[in-house]
Chains A and B, each alone.
Chain A
Amino acid sequence: MSLDEARSAIGARFSGAEVGTGTPLVVTVSPGQWAELAAFAKETLGCRFFSFLTAVDWKEPGLEVVAKVDNLDDGLAVMMKTRLGPGVSTCASLTPIYRGADWMERECWDMFGIRFDGHPDLRRILLDDTWEGHPLLKSYAVDTPHPPYR
């Protein structure tokens, strides 16, 4: 599956998706189509390698979830993005589709407070279970005190 074929396949299947040019192929969809896009990438585009999943806090426009998957046989790289919108912090989980999304989504919950619907075990992974706050949000100060340790 080459880049152009992939671009046309995505454009045909997902109306309203913004598809970029060049590598990696950046596809932006609405949150409702997130899991569908991932399943499409795995089955039709052949992207079976799950690279990473993360989120970005754009302050006013809200959070954005970014995931990247690769097709190792053809060398196709697809970067999927979805903007959750201001004030929204829930998203569909990709764990049923890609098992590698498990820990990555736990990290997004930990760092950004995004709840993933359909995740089997959403709990904090890097910080303590008793930690309050989600550090990578722009509203969280980097040197937040935590007596007596800092």
Chain B
Amino acid sequence: MLDQSTVARVELDWAGPERLTMNMGPQHPSAHGVFRAIVTLEGETVVAVDAVIGYLHRCHEKLAETLTYAQYPSIASKTDYVAAMTSEFAYVMAAEEIGKVEVPKRAQYLRVICAELQRVASHLLWLGTWCMDMGGALGGGATIFLYCIREREDILDLFESLVGARLLYGFYQVGGVRYDIPDGWVAQCRATIDRIDQRIGEYEQMLEQNPFFLARAKGVGVVSRELAQDVGIAGPLLRGSGIPWDLRRTAPYSSYEDFDFRIPVETDGDCFARYRVRMVEFREAITIVRQALDKLPAGPISSRPALKSVAQIRIQKGESYARVEGPRGEVGCYLIADGSAKPYRMKWRGASFSNLSILPHIIPGHKVADVVAIMGSVDPVFGEVDR
């Protein structure tokens, strides 16, 4: 005999349109990483999304309990691997807050310069991949992808001459930074950001005069103010929904109060609004880098002696939650120290984890093609989601 739930399902299939459950598997060409979305479709409209994550769960939080404060920053890079210094920043700031470690002014300015350059590099990658997702890898989307990666390579060259690595660094250490800028770096940096500033204008023009781009981005994936706060998304998603919250302005850290920049806020809450927020953030990040390069003070780059052993840094008992405004939002590190060289508990508040949890709330009602556009504008990095 059929039970009530089966009867209900059969009736739904008879009476209403058919529902199809489709898998957007962990390997898909929309180049965001390992993410699985099980979408339930009615025709072409998405009715429900079940986001399955965890395909990149690399046990960061458990490993942090086995690695010392000197060893972990390079591993911290690997959470948000597109803007790696953001995560290092959060971890190092949390340790410094508990240990009451002073950071010299020059180190603070260098941290700001690198954080803002990372923001530009990360937004370049976001723009390239989002437009490639919407335009198609073999169609027009690859154009802007190649352009953006070309600019990003210039910034990665800057990092390579500073730190020695292109993508994942161990630049931030408890007490300051690890390397000082070499000769000629300031001039190269200025030339690079001038060039990028001018080219961003060209890309903006190219995109905003394109009716297909506007059709795919305007009105798609609207996030209301109330939902944005309730779920806890941050960064350009929050500012695209009308909330003027930027940690660099509201809770300034590492000398951000010395710089003059504006916070872009859009009220529409759709993909286009988030795009506009990020485009303005490009300009503002470049402004901050210029100001920091102008005002860069001389002095030591770290308040602690150079590292000679891995267990050199000991932090006394305490806990703190340090957060930075990364390109994706609030990256936070909740650290509980117990007096030894290793933390007792370390939790990453990943910006992308909270941002991604908004997908089941906003995707239903859109077409299948919009899923890709929305995911791109949410800009997840799965190192942060899965940790």
A interface, CB within 8 angstroms of B: 24, 48-52, 54, 56-57, 66, 68, 72, 75, 79, 98-100, 102-103, 111, 124-128, 135-136, 140, 142
Ordered by A's residue number, 5 sampled pairs between the chains whose C-beta atoms are within 8 Å are A51-B330, A75-B250, A99-B230, A135-B62, A142-B65
- Complex CA gap A42/B147 in Å reads 45
Known pairs A52-B349, A72-B243 / 17 extra A-B pairs, C-beta < 8 Å: A50-B230, A51-B232, A51-B330, A51-B332, A51-B349, A68-B321, A72-B245, A75-B251, A99-B227, A100-B231, A100-B357, A124-B54, A126-B386, A127-B54, A128-B54, A135-B62, A136-B61
B232-A50 in contact (CB<8A):
yes
Q: How many residues of B contact A (CB 8 A)?
A: 34
A107 to chain B, nearest CB (A): 8
Cβ-based interface call for B214 (8 A): no
**Which residues of chain B have C-beta atoms less than 8 A from A136's C-beta?**
61-62
With contact pairs A126-B54, A126-B57, A142-B59 given, residues A48 and B229 touching in the complex (Cβ less than 8 Å): yes
For the residues of B in contact with A, the DSSP-based class is mixed
**Which residues of chain B have C-beta atoms less than 8 A from A50's C-beta?**
229-232
Cβ-based interface call for B200 (8 A): no
B60 to chain A, nearest CB (A): 11
With contact pairs A125-B54, A135-B62 given, residues A56 and B345 touching in the complex (Cβ less than 8 Å): yes
B interface, CB within 8 angstroms of A: 53-54, 57, 59, 61-63, 65-66, 226-227, 229-232, 243, 245, 250-251, 321, 330, 332, 334, 336, 344-345, 347, 349, 353-354, 357, 361, 386-387
Number of A-B contacts (CB under 8 A): 74
- Complex CA gap A14/B361 in Å reads 33
Neighbour of B229 across the interface among A49, A56, A125, A128, CB < 8 A: A49
